[in-house]
Structure 1
């Protein structure tokens, strides 16, 4: 009986250890923890054979003991031997199959590596000679600069060897030792602003030599007509392909006006080669390029604004007699009237003040009446 109980304990402990090993195992093919499955531990063929042989030896020993006991007490122990055999069969059946309730572990997922990929670092190596180091920092001059690029996962020995290589190429010492040099490292700080200010500078490009090039800005600023490279702008007559299509008709109308209004007395009192004069305007009115351009633009709009014989009615031709100019447009008349009304309202008018004085007030400013002449003593005696 003691041998049987010890065998049962050993088999039960082995089954428990096997179940715990399955639960604590880290193999990828383990069962899911959340799956409720009953797992039966079954021995292999070799283990079954060994188990059977071991069980057979135990049974032979037990049978020998039982046989010796039976010879002594056949009648008394017959019933007990049968009960023991039945109990042994039940125990052997329990030992053969041990059912352990366990949960299948979930398949372990492959963990992603949290290590960042190595990045490339740029090192700016600035080297000073021994003569430069003897001078003050402000008077050392510019150092010898070399650029070095290495991956961030490289060890310190690799960086050290690369620095020595740069020193050998730049300074060319007779003996190359890392301990002979004072090396300092600085990392430029990166300032991150929450609200960064952006400064945008817009610069105009160099103007082309087209006909419509506006040079008034340069004249106002006092700058010369030279470009950025010091070249003068072309003063040649533009070619036909350089003239914009919108200016072809305007240039043709300007040519017509120039041919018509040539001064008959060049070098006269007007002092211009082109001037405007009529019977109502006998005095010569000199015409400049601005006058011709404004006149041609108005003539292109229609005869109601201007034609070859009648100039437009604008501020450039205010000195021309009103009868010789074209009629003003209704819009221009209305604007001129509103402008005159605004000027009248803006000019202050002196108030009229009337002051009335009583006649007695005027006596204050009158001189007193002359005193009567004095009489002589004789007159006074006679009167008495």
Structure 2
């Protein structure tokens, strides 16, 4: 108990309290008690018996305490032997306290000989992971005419784009469309999504061309970018974008007349399919009493154009009056104007042959 281990300073022997400027160690317990009569604080100091060590010079002003003047020795009628026993108890208490302090000190484990263990690789603790970063898009744009060449002979137009991975799909598509319009369609006011095809690759992550068609493909791109390694020196992650011009971007393909022409050609091809075993063509015109006439793309184009012009002699079952179909139309009735032109052309090609001249010579005296 505190009372057993420490005593009031008045109970100390006179030999230990005779020096008014005695300095005590830091570990001494200082008890303050308010004095009721004088309104001041009386300094009470208790310390283990037998302690005589002093503080260092630099901490002397902070820890030094002056011992109050003890009362006369006559006021204490205790036997010196009792005081000695009390001092012995204090010494025992002090030694037990010191033992307790020594036990509370942590014991450092002995290090085993050998190489220390390597620390596991990973992100340092208490470091926030970066979720937003910029991406460098290296864009290669190919015209449709370049796609008809071999891979090693194609020439691409290059563009670059830097965008954050937090960019939405609509904003990303708009940024890419600006680059495509500048490189492939400089004269077009509006560039639709069907005007080009977009692919992407990532080095060591996505080797084959992966098409970007909608927001799901764009999300897949962002997830794959996170797997890519950050270049040395703090560079940006790079994504290779490949843009191909679509076949439906020509102005002629967008005209209503061409759309109708293609539709008519498709109908003619479906109607005049040849399934004869001995015929080498997939499409043939078969007259009622004539041989097969092989139909090519030129035949279908002229036939469809004649139908769209509204010619009375051209229908899906009857070919037009054209030289490509003359082999099958030799006996077919023709228009008067066309027949006159054919006759005039035939006369011009005709070669005038010389008449033979026979001369007969008779003698004078024959008759």
Tell me the TM-score normalized by structure 1: 0.30
Higher radius of gyration, 1 or 2: 1
Q: Which has a greater percent of helix?
A: 1
Q: Which has the higher contact order (CA 8 A, sep 6+)?
A: 2
Tell me the TM-score normalised to structure 2 length. 0.31
| Greater strand content | 2
